[in-house]
Structure 1
Amino acid sequence: MSKQATRRPARIAGLGLVSALALAPAAYGEDATTTSPSPAVQDEAPTRPVGRPPEKKEDSRPPQIETLISSTGVLTPKGKFILEPSFQYAYSSVYRIGLEGYTVLPAILIGAIQIEDTSRNTYIAALTGRYGLTDRLEVEARVPYVWRTDSSLTRNVQNGGTSEPILVDADGSDIGDVEVAAHYQLNRGGQAGFYVGNLRVKTITGKNPFEVPRDPATNLLTELPTGTGFWSVQPSLTAIFPSDPAVFYGNLSYSWNIERDVGYGYGKIDPGDAVGFGFGMGLSLNEKASFSLGYDHSIIGKPKQNGMTVPNTRMLQVGSVLFGYSYRLTPKTGFNLNFGVGATQDAPDVQLTLRLPITF
């Protein structure tokens, strides 16, 4: 057998495909009598066991998927500024029947019945700015402009007689309540998940409900407010758990709506605090697109006037099923479209939000 037939392909095969290609000139070169790799070739041998993939390095930042229940899916990196114009549309309808009188037999009422059917449209154009003070701390400010329209149809039924329906249209447009917030990543992330603490403060820059006129005949607003009229402080905690290619997230919040004397003869009004929770899942479709599904729920307490619970009021349950789609247009520009459907009576029937974050 010739010397060429005694070369050692088994040693080359054991080094893997990349190392085998690197050894090809030395093993199959002009000098066919070489039976072992040269020292230079030995230095190129792999330093890890063959067939074992390199260990993944844990990321210290949340995954690039926006949550639907809060704006804390991705914190702004240190020194970066994000300007986010947005537009939101919400529609809700309310159908109420009010009874005032007494009954002489079951199902027979002596008195008045008031029927009210209201349709509400709300449009909010907002400009939000976020800045990364550090890789784990972000500050935010949001300035909204609100335009609202209401259409209410009321009818009184008294002792078998029916009055003519009264249609009242009202609208209002002005700056809304400005908000400021801070978001801080509490841990380094990794397999244990990411935990982000949030603190949001809502001001009273919008026109409040106590300073707009009412129709004396129906007691309905003839001009609509663009703010709540109360300062609000909302601490919350967001948890994010990556599970490639999905991301699971949840949020728990408490809103303290601060009591104040609103004037106009109303005295001190406490609108009631709120507890909120939400959860969802984001799925990365590819490097640019992601899809999200979630649920958001808020429980709002009864309002109080001068320390006493306002009569004929109840706790509100506001729950919505949320769908979202995100797409990265360029490395510095994104597109987010969220759609919400009311799951409870007190929630808006439909919500649609479009956001365009731009990184500087």
Structure 2
Amino acid sequence: MSRCPLQPPRQLLSLTLLLVLCTAWPTRAAGADDGAREQRLQALQEQINAERRQLNDMRATLAERQQHLDQLQRALDDEILAGATGRGPALTAYAPQQSAAPAEQAAPAVATAGMQADPPQPVGQAPESDTRPPEVAQIFDQPGVLTPARRFVLEPSLQYGYYGNNRVALVGYTVIPAILIGLIDVRQVKINTTTATLTARYGINNRMEIEGKVPYVYVHSDTVSREIFTGSAQDNVFNARGKGLGDIEATFRYQLNQGGLDKPFYIGWLRYKSRSGRGPFEVITDCVTRCVANATGTGLPLDMPTGSGFEAIQPGVTWLFPSDPVVFFGTVSYLHNIERTNVTRRVLGGEEEFIGDISGGDVLGLNLGLGLALNEKAAISIGYDHNVIDRIKHNGEDVPGSVRLNLGTLLLGGTYRFNDHVSLNVAIGAGLTEDTPDLSLTTRVPITF
């Protein structure tokens, strides 16, 4: 048998195959190492991203808990302040109500190398912080504390005022000092005013409220005089009465900031006063024609007015500064009486007499006071109220005899809270200037619904 010379020997084939395998093996091994490295890098990047997301979630949860803690601290401060000023239990519930937080809001567990964080606890619902100013015994017309959100307050009140004044008019001339040749008009005026008012307030939210006020007025006036040009040696008494609806008012109030202990509260307000009451130009005057030097009548109204006769706009700012154990408070305001044109008045006999344009004097008001709690139900306040009334203008000119008036009143008041819905407030005022009412006594009974 002959052997083919072109067939390679078996040893040569084995050697060639071995050489090929040895050449390809490093390349395959390098490719496998690169794939494993990429998988490890990708796994590490995913772990970093997961850790970063968990860290961001923990920061958000920490911020929520810090906000919750701040609200609890403010609520605690307000509750301490409420007890210091005699307000008693606040109307806002301070106790937090626990509620299960959604799963996506729960703090995620942090899985780090070899460590497992404690499972997070559900975050309770933060209580609504009471940012209202502390209540004090009301002695001024404008209250210092706002009505709580979605609460309605009905406040009936009764006010009594007494005003007495003596006026002496000298008509003549003097020859030597202390000797007068002529006539003397001595007149005593005593006015008693009783006003029953129904006030309604509604809290739109904890920092905003609206108020409406409807008064009913009864006025009684006694004038004792020995008039000039009559030659009478006897005193004449002139009586006049008036009763009816007074000037209806509407007020809007808004708390400008969030105060607290040793931090002032500022409340801005705007008041509108109508002239729904019977004004001084609508009552009949004891004059046959225009009164000139009292020659044709007393010049006094036969009926007393129940309103001012002018519409008015009054902006103002009330502030309260709690400083344990007292609360300081006050108000600055400016009342503008809207000018009336083509005014007429009625004289004796029913005739109307044309007067012209009348502008009532504007009023600049300022009051200061402090309140002190005696216990959880009783509190007292003391304060001073001052008003400067400008001169009245007739057809753009100052009315002859009209002067700028200063009204100063010292007030003392107290409040007793029967329960969370009903309280009693009493305030008494004493006039310190000649033009101020000598006595004012006000009783209020605010009822909260």
TM-score normalised according to structure 2 size: 0.66
1:150 has 2:194 as partner: no
1:266 has 2:355 as partner: yes
Output the CA distance in 2 between the equivalents of 1:70 and 1:225.
21
> How far does residue 58 in structure 1 lie from its aligned partner after superposition?
4.0
Output the CA distance in 2 between the equivalents of 1:55 and 1:188.
14
Alpha carbons 2:314, 2:333 under 8 Å: kept:
yes
Instruction: Trace 1:166-177 onto structure 2 (pairs within 5 A).
Output: 166-177=236-247
- Aligned residue number for residue 131 of structure 1: 202
Give unpaired runs (5+ residues) of structure 1: 1-53
- After TM superposition, where is structure 1 displaced by more than 6 Å over at least 4 residues in a row? none
Amino acid at match of 2:249: E
1:227 to 307, 311, 316: 307
Cα deviations across residues 82-128 of structure 1 (Å, max 9, x unaligned)? 00000000001010001223333333333321110111100000100
- Aligned residue number for residue 49 of structure 1: none
Output the CA distance in 2 between the equivalents of 1:174 and 1:150.
15
Output the CA distance in 2 between the equivalents of 1:225 and 1:156.
23
1:211 to 265, 282, 285: 282
1:108 has 2:197 as partner: no
Alpha carbons 1:66, 1:74 under 8 Å: kept:
no
- Aligned residue number for residue 11 of structure 1: none
Cα deviations across residues 328-347 of structure 1 (Å, max 9, x unaligned)? 11210110000000111111
> How far does residue 282 in structure 1 lie from its aligned partner after superposition?
0.5
Output the CA distance in 1 between the equivalents of 2:338 and 2:172.
36
- Aligned residue number for residue 289 of structure 1: 378
Output the CA distance in 2 between the equivalents of 1:192 and 1:351.
33
1:181 to 232, 246, 251: 251
1:341 has 2:430 as partner: yes
State the superposition RMSD in angstroms. Answer: 1.7
Alpha carbons 2:392, 2:398 under 8 Å: kept:
yes
Cα deviations across residues 207-251 of structure 1 (Å, max 9, x unaligned)? 000111122321111100000110111111111011122111111
Output the CA distance in 1 between the equivalents of 2:381 and 2:437.
20
Task: State how many pairs are aligned.
Answer: 306
Output the CA distance in 2 between the equivalents of 1:305 and 1:108.
36
Output the CA distance in 2 between the equivalents of 1:78 and 1:304.
43
Alpha carbons 2:193, 2:217 under 8 Å: kept:
yes
Output the CA distance in 1 between the equivalents of 2:397 and 2:173.
26
Partner SS, residue 263 of structure 1: strand
**C-alpha spacing 1:193/1:173, structure 2 compared with 1 (3 Å):** same
Identity %: 45
Amino acid at match of 2:442: T
Amino acid at match of 1:296: D
Alpha carbons 1:154, 1:165 under 8 Å: kept:
yes
Bigger CA radius of gyration = 2
Cα deviations across residues 297-337 of structure 1 (Å, max 9, x unaligned)? 00000101001101112111111000001011121011000
- Aligned residue number for residue 279 of structure 1: 368
Output the CA distance in 2 between the equivalents of 1:58 and 1:233.
37
- Aligned residue number for residue 238 of structure 1: 318
Amino acid at match of 1:81: F
1:317 has 2:406 as partner: yes
Higher helix share: 2
